[in-house]
Amino acid sequence: MNKIIGINDAIKVSKQLKQSGKSIVLAGGCFDILHIGHIVFLQEAKKRGDALFLLLESDASVKKRKGKERPLNPQRMRADALSSLNTVDFIIPLDKVTKDDQYDRIIVQIKPDVIAQTEGDPNSAQRLKQCKMVDAKLAIVTKIVGDMSTTKLLKRKI
């Protein structure tokens, strides 16, 4: 099965996994330039359950949050790169999802057992609210690895 799936397919797959007694971990992000910080985060998130679902931000959302020069890689390329990782089971490209209530609806339908985040995530309050909505656990799976973020990498001089 293709790892890159739409929201409706993600809902179906999550129901099937739950019926099989499997646990679902949900994470999300931009993943513009895949780096060691992302890899460690995804490895640690995967350890929290049987299947790792990844919500992948749209190009428009990345541009809005990170600036007009971003993303460097379009969503399809980011999804393809992530799909090559054994730790990621499903990638759900978010095309028109930009508001918290839209994310909330997706999370209520997928019903993850765990929502994974990095320590210091600016959206921690929203993640906690989402966990309460579906009776999931919030897992702080890693700290930011060193100076690793796409934004910081882009600012480095070679």
Please report the pLDDT score of residue 135 as a whole number: 97
- In angstroms and rounded to an integer, the radius of gyration of the C-alpha atoms of the chain is 15
Question: What is the crossing angle of helices 7-19 and 100-110, to 10°?
Answer: 30
Please report the pLDDT score of residue 84 as a whole number: 95
Please report the pLDDT score of residue 67 as a whole number: 87
Residue whose structure tokens are 């949900």: 26
Does 158 reside within a domain? no
Does 42 reside within a domain? yes
Please report the pLDDT score of residue 147 as a whole number: 57
Nearest in space to 150 (alpha carbons), one of 55, 89, 69, 84: 69
Whether the Cβ atoms of residue 134 and residue 112 lie closer than 8 Å to each other: yes
Please report the pLDDT score of residue 94 as a whole number: 95
Q: What sign has the CA pseudo-torsion 149, 138, 88, 57?
A: negative
Residue whose structure tokens are 């989402």: 130
Does 18 reside within a domain? yes
Give the domain CATH number at 97: 3.40.50.620
> Domain containing 26: what range?
7-152
Please report the pLDDT score of residue 58 as a whole number: 93
pTM of the model as a whole: 0.89
From residue 5, alpha-carbon distances to 79, 88, 126, 147, 157 in Å are 10, 12, 24, 32, 37
23 — phi, psi (to 5°)?
-105, 150
Please report the pLDDT score of residue 153 as a whole number: 54
Collapsing DSSP to helix, strand or coil, 152 comes out as: helix
Please report the pLDDT score of residue 96 as a whole number: 82
Per-residue pLDDT of 38-62, as tens digits, reads 999 999 999 999 999 999 999 998 9
Regions of the chain with pLDDT less than 50: none
Does 2 reside within a domain? no
Please report the pLDDT score of residue 104 as a whole number: 93
**For the chain, how many structural domains are there in total?**
1
Does 1 reside within a domain? no
Whether the Cβ atoms of residue 128 and residue 138 lie closer than 8 Å to each other: yes
Query: Is residue 71 reached through a cis peptide bond, with omega within 30 degrees of 0 on the bond before it?
Result: yes
Please report the pLDDT score of residue 146 as a whole number: 52
